[in-house]
Amino acid sequence: MGEGRKRDLVSIDDLSTEEIMELFRHADGFRADLRAWTHLCQGTIMATLFFEASTRTRLSFESAMLRLGGGKVTAAEASSTSQSKGESLADTVRVVGGGYADILVVRHPRDGAARVAAKFASVPVINGGDGAHEHPTQTLCDLYTLWREKGKLEGLDVVLCGDLRYSRTIHSFAYALARFKANIVTLPYPGFEMPDAVTDRLARDFGLKVDKARVTDLPGIAGGDNSAAYLTASKPHQLALFTQLTPHQVGHIDAIYMTRAQRERHAGESTEGYPRISREFLRSDIMKDARVMHPLPRTDEIDYEVDSDPRSVYFQQAELGVPMRMALMAFLLGKIELSSKPPESFATDPGLLGDVAALNCQNERCITRTEQVSYLAPEFRLLRETPPALSCAYCSVTTEAAFVGSRGSLRYHRYNAAEARRIKPANRAYFATEEQAQAAGYSALGRAGRESS
Ligand code: NCD
Q: How far apart are CA 371 and CA 131, in angstroms?
A: 14
Ligand 1 midpoint to CA 312 (Å): 17
Is the model's pLDDT at 400 over the cut of 80? yes
Beta strand 412-414 pairing with 428-431: unpaired
Helices (H), 227-386: 279-283, 314-319, 321-332, 344-347
Q: Are 444 and 453 in contact (CB under 8 A)?
A: no
pLDDT at 211: 66
What share of the chain has pLDDT > 70, as a percent? 85
**Residue 317: CB within 6 Å of ligand 1?**
no
Ligand 1 midpoint to CA 129 (Å): 8
Mean pLDDT of 74-100: 87
Atom of ligand 1 nearest to the CA of 52: 3
Q: How far apart are CA 102 and CA 69, in angstroms?
A: 13
3-state percent breakdown (helix, strand, coil) of the chain, nearest 5: 35, 20, 45
Mean pLDDT of 322-334: 98
Tell me: the pLDDT tens digits for 185-195? Answer: 888 888 888 89
Atom of ligand 1 nearest to the CA of 169: 4
Give the chain's domains with CATH numbers.
12-134+319-346 (3.40.50.1370), 137-314 (3.40.50.1370), 349-450 (2.30.30.20)
Ligand 1 midpoint to CA 297 (Å): 6
**Residue 399: CB within 6 Å of ligand 1?**
no
Q: Record the pTM.
A: 0.90
Residue 429 neighbours by CB distance under 10 Å: 23
Cα angle for residues 429, 121, 144 (degrees, 5° grid): 100
Tell me: the pLDDT tens digits for 107-120? Answer: 999 999 999 999 99
